[in-house]
Amino acid sequence: MKAYGVLAFLLFLSFFAGAESNVSVEELEVVAPDLNLNIANCHHVTGPVLLEKEFYVHNPCEDFMAVTYEYYNLPNKTWEYGGKSCNIGPGQYLHCPVMVNVSLGGTGNGTFSDALIRFTGTTPASPNTEYKQSFVFKVDHVTSSRESEMLNRLENLTSQWETLHDQTCLSTTCCTQEEWGMIENASVLLNAATQDILVCGLSKSYEKLVTAEDLLDTAQENIDSCLLSGGGGTPTCPSSCPAGYSQEPYPDCSCNKLECPNACGSLEYQMPYPDCSCKLRECPNACGPGAVQEPYPDCSCVYPTPTTVQPTFVDLGNSTGDGGGGCAIGFVIALLSLPLLAAWAKG
C-alpha cells in the first residue's frame, strides 16, 4: 500500500509540474505614463520615495482580468509584490494605478535607467495564460538634506570610533573592559545605521546614531577622568602563553603557535620548532637479505643477478704428461674402497 501511495504522490507532482510548465505568457497591452523620475534618494518622512503612476491597461479576454504588479527593490535587487492594481472588464481599457517604490540611500547624485514596474494579468477564461509587461524608468536622483545630515553624522562617529578603538584604548589602561564594551556596542549600531540609510530608513538610522554617539562620548569621558586623576599606564598583555607560542599585542593578547619557516628542499623534512633544521629523507629498511635499496625517493629493492658456477675438471694424470695415470687412478679407487673396508671390519 505504501508503494501505491508513493506512486500516486509522484504522479500528482508530475501532473502539477506539467501544469505549471504549460502556462503560456503573452504580452499585456499597456499605455504607459511619463517614465522619467526626478527624485531625491530618500523621502524625509516615508523613507523610500513613493510615487503613484497610472497605466492604461487593455483586457483582450472575454472575462474579467485581475491585474497585479511588482516593483523592483533596488537595494536588494529583487522583485517585490506590490498588490492588486485593478480589475478590468471583458474587452475594456482601464486606468490601473501602481506605487513606484524607490530607495537610493547612500548612492549620491546620478542618473540611471532600469525596469522598476511589471504587470501580470490573469483571467478565469484563460487559466493557463499570463499577460505580462514591464516598464523601464529613467531616474535622476539627488541626495536630500536629511540624508546628507545622516551621512555626515555617520562619518564623524565612525572617525570618533576609530580613534578610540585604534589609538586611545591601545595606549592607556584607563580604557577598561567597560569602555571596550561601549566601543564594541557602538560599532554594532554604526553598522546597523549604515544599512538603514541604504534602504532609506532615515528615522531608524538617526536613533541608532544618537545611541552610538552617547556610548562613544561616555567611553571618552571615563578615560579622560581616569587620566586626569593620575591613573593609566601602558596596557600590556599578561604573559600567559606557553613555550613555543607568540603573543599578539594588546588588546588581542591571543597565543599563536610558532612555526618554522618552510626552507627545506623536496628531499628533506623539517624538524619541529624551535629546531627547524632540515633532515634528508630516508627510505624505510624494507628489503630482504641480499637486496640493495635505491636511494630516496625511489626506495625500490634491487636483487643481484645470480651467477652460474662452471664445473672445474681436475687432471688426475701424472705430472710428466706421458699419458700414464695408473697411480692416480689407483689412489682414487683406494679412497672409494675405504668405507667398504670399514664396514667389513665391523662385520
Query: Which residues partner with 141 through β-bridges?
Result: 39, 110
| CA separation, residue 10 to residues 4, 179, 264 (Å) | 10, 61, 61
- The answer to whether residue 295 sits within a structural domain is no
Tell me the pTM.
0.62
Shared-domain flag, residues 54 and 163:
no
Shared-domain flag, residues 31 and 125:
yes
- The answer to whether residue 294 sits within a structural domain is no
DSSP of 105-143, one letter per residue? TT--SEEEEEEEEEEEEE-TT-TTEEEEEEEEEEEEEE-
Shared-domain flag, residues 160 and 219:
yes
Beta strands in 123-217 (DSSP E): 129-142
Question: Each residue's pLDDT tens digit in the chain (347 positions)?
Answer: 454 454 455 444 444 444 445 889 999 999 999 999 999 999 988 899 999 999 999 999 999 999 999 999 999 999 999 999 999 999 999 999 999 999 999 999 999 999 999 999 999 988 899 999 999 999 999 999 999 999 999 999 999 999 999 999 998 899 999 999 999 999 999 999 999 999 999 999 999 999 999 999 999 999 999 999 887 776 767 677 887 788 777 767 788 888 888 878 777 778 887 778 888 787 877 787 777 877 777 788 887 777 666 666 555 555 444 544 444 444 444 555 555 555 555 55
Nearest Cα to 70, choosing from 61, 80, 78?
Answer: 80
Shared-domain flag, residues 209 and 254:
no
Shared-domain flag, residues 36 and 131:
yes
Shared-domain flag, residues 163 and 120:
no
- The answer to whether residue 109 sits within a structural domain is yes
Give the CA count within 13 Å in the CB-facing half-sphere of 290: 4
Classify each residue of 166-185 as buried b or exposed e, where b means 16 or more C-beta atoms within 10 Å of its C-beta.
eebbeebebbeeebeebbee
- Where residue 31 sits, what CATH number does that domain have? 2.60.40.10
- The answer to whether residue 4 sits within a structural domain is no
Range of the domain at 50: 22-143
Shared-domain flag, residues 124 and 55:
yes
Shared-domain flag, residues 136 and 167:
no
Shared-domain flag, residues 129 and 153:
no
Three-class SS state of 29: coil
- The answer to whether residue 299 sits within a structural domain is no
Burial class (CB in 10 A: 0-12, 13-18, 19+), 77: exposed
Shared-domain flag, residues 150 and 139:
no
Shared-domain flag, residues 137 and 27:
yes
Number of domains in the chain: 3
Shared-domain flag, residues 65 and 31:
yes
Instruction: Report the amino acid identity of residue 35.
Output: L
